[in-house]
Chain A
C-alpha cells in the first residue's frame, strides 16, 4: 500500500480562524514532509520530519505550525493566515531521510482558500 491520505480535501477559512490539516501514511515510513504548491508552480518544501522530530523548517512563517504525533501522522496547524497562503498543501512520506528520500509518496493534497 503506497497511499498517503490527507484531510480535509478542501478548506475555506477566514484570516482569524484556526484550523488543522491532517496527513496519514501506513507504509512504515519515518520521514514525512509538508509542501505548499501554488497554481502552475512546483511544490515548495515547508517542513521535514525525520523519526518524529522536525528536521527541516524552510523559513516558514510562524502562522504555520507542524506537529508529528507519531510516525504515521503529520498535522499542520494554521492560524491567522493571509489570502496569499491560499494554495494546495501536500503531504509526502519516504522511507527516511538517509535512505529513499528521493522516493517520496504524495497525498492528494488539501486545497486551502483563505478569505
Chain B
C-alpha cells in the first residue's frame, strides 16, 4: 500500500462549482498535512497546512483532516478558471526532514 494516495483525475468542473480534492494515507503517525498547487511547468506553491485533525480555512480554500479515517480533503468554493492546476497533498514523513507528496490531482475549471 502506498503511503499517500490521491485520485489523479483529471477532474473537470464548471466555473463556480465547489471542488473536493482528497487524499488517503496509511501512516497514523503523520501530524502535518499540506496542500500544494502546481501550475503547468511551474514549481509547487504551498496553499496551506494543518496540524493534526480539524479544519482550516483561507479565503475560498478549506482544508479538512480526519485522522481517524486517515483522510484529508481540500475544498475550493466558487472555483475559477485560474484554479486549473495540479493539486498535491503532502505530509511530513517519518523522518523529521522529509515531506511525502501524493501523486497529484489535475483540475480543470471550465468557464
Contact = CB atoms under 8 A, between A and B. Distances in A.
A56 B97 contact: yes
B25 interface: no
Interface residues of A, number: 27
B34 interface: yes
Contacts of B43: 4, 6, 90, 92, 106-109
Interface in A29-45: 31, 40-43, 45
Contacts, number: 59
A64 interface: no
Contacts of A48: 97-98
A43 B45 contact: no
Interface range, B side: 20 to 34
Interface string B87-101: 010101001111101
Given A42-B103, A45-B99, A98-B96, A104 B88 contact: no
Interface string B42-68: 111110010000000000000000000
Interface string A11-44: 0000000000000000000010000000011110
A7 to B, nearest CB: 13
Interface centre among A42, A55, A104, A105 (most CB of B within 10 A): A42
Interface of A: 4, 6, 31, 40-43, 45, 48, 50, 55-56, 88, 90, 92, 97-98, 101-109, 111
16 contacts: A42-B102, A43-B44, A48-B97, A56-B95, A56-B98, A88-B41, A90-B44, A97-B97, A101-B96, A101-B97, A102-B99, A103-B34, A103-B46, A103-B49, A107-B43, A109-B43
